[in-house]
Amino acid sequence: MSTLALLGIGAGSIALLLLLIVRWKVHAFVAMMLVSLLVALATGMPTGDIIGTLVAGMGGTLGSVAILVALGAMLGRMIEVSGGAASLANRFTQLLGPNRVPMALTASALVLAIPVFFDVGFIILVPIVYGFCKAAGVNPVKFGLPVAGIMLATHVVVPPHPGIVGGAAIVQGDIGWITLIGLGICIPLAVLAQYVSGWLNRKGYAMLPATAEQFAAFGSSEESAASAKRQTPGVGTVLALILIPLLLIMGGTTGATVLPKGDALRNLLGFIGSPIFALMVAVGLAMFLLGRQQGWSRDRTNAVMESALPPAATVILVTGAGGVFAKVLTASGIGVALSQSLAATQLPLILLAFCMALALRAAQGSATVAIITTCGLLSDAITGGGYSPVQVALLTVATGFGALGLSHVNDSGFWIVTRYLGLSVGDGLRTWTVLTTVLGLAGFAFTALLWVAVA
């Protein structure tokens, strides 16, 4: 089949995928599996190989993604249920002072967003945002907007979140380098989120009636009494649970970079620094530290951990379906055709990855789908381009930042943020959509500078 025909099928598959998800509201897992099957048939793949290719794509992706997402969800759920988020936010506020409450909340959000999914983490912090806003006499959007912005930025580029982990699996990216780069860039983005949010809030926004009623009722005597009775873990415990796996992963990455192959210390650091082992350590510590501090029985601890799995299961399936789509694109020859065409255009691959993810994000709403689809389309160009592990990590992070921008009405996160902050759809587009796009562009700019530096 000609290159033009293969590219046409590839473009048609993306268009059909978007129609299924956006127009006809088909579940992303079903849509990607169906489109993968149709692509295999359209490109003339032997029927005897199709099912094996689909299974290989699912298994190859889930082998590295499912464990990370499940462990990360369990860790985040235990921090959530134990009240660790409130403890973290309150401690940051004490350290930075009452005059720096927005900065303290944003710093808390950045740390909390590492193990906790965006929507869950933001909902956890909403009561804390409400409390500080009531004390300061300001609209919740003043403090809540930068909190939501940095949480989403962390969600799209820092493992163990599913989009970036799934994308890394497809392009064979090193999780350690992706973590170092993504987290390093998110730190200045947290500062930027504060300034951009302040500029966006230079004029007031009318609060939606339902949110205004909820905000006015917040802090009732019954609610305050229940909160006072709740025992929460210390901030040191919460930070340890988040930072220990990160330090283990970074140690493994550093060992692989500075020590020669076959070195015993490098092998040891590689083992304890593998993301799966690091998260297993964190979950084990959480079971012991949080469970003991909260007085949870073993059954209660197990119940908390199991409650994290149903939401994670859907994410895992969607991520796996993205792996199936990527495998079919590769096996059908579409990936090779796209790689050859890209080479002919001389367009920088890092820019293409960002733009493709941004377009897919705007079209269908899901950052996870945008990252995985983009990595699938560019997998041959990335894996066959002779890039170093750091460069592959930068390409993956650039894709993640593409999926950060242009959050609007087809994104569930848009509705979560606007509902809890009391923004109308129009005001949400003027604030939240603008903030995510600015952060995405800035994140890509930092990534591109690093790309130039290591090239």
pLDDT tens-place string over residues 152-200 = 999 999 988 888 988 999 999 998 899 999 999 999 999 999 999 999 9
341-359 pLDDT per residue, tens:
765 777 899 999 999 889 8
CA-to-CA separations, 162 to 105, 186, 326, in angstroms, rounded? 24, 17, 15
By mean pLDDT, which of 81-90, 208-217, 293-302 is the weakest? Answer: 81-90
**Residue 224: pLDDT band by 50, 70, 90 thresholds?**
very low
Tokens 């593998």 belong to 274
Asked if 76 contacts 334 with a C-beta cutoff of 8 angstroms, the reply is no
What phi and psi values does residue 422 have, to the nearest 5 degrees?
75, 30
pLDDT for the residue numbered 230: 54
pTM: 0.76
Mean pLDDT of 90-103: 72
Residue 204 to residue 376: CA distance in whole angstroms: 43
Tokens 């590839």 belong to 10
Cβ neighbour number for residue 277 with a 10 Å cutoff: 16
- Residue 97: partners with Cβ closer than 8 Å, 6 or more residues away: none
Tokens 């950045």 belong to 110
By mean pLDDT, which of 268-277, 297-306, 314-323, 388-397 is the weakest? Answer: 314-323
Number of structural domains found in the chain: 1
Domain that holds residue 195: 3-454
Residue 193 to residue 189: CA distance in whole angstroms: 6
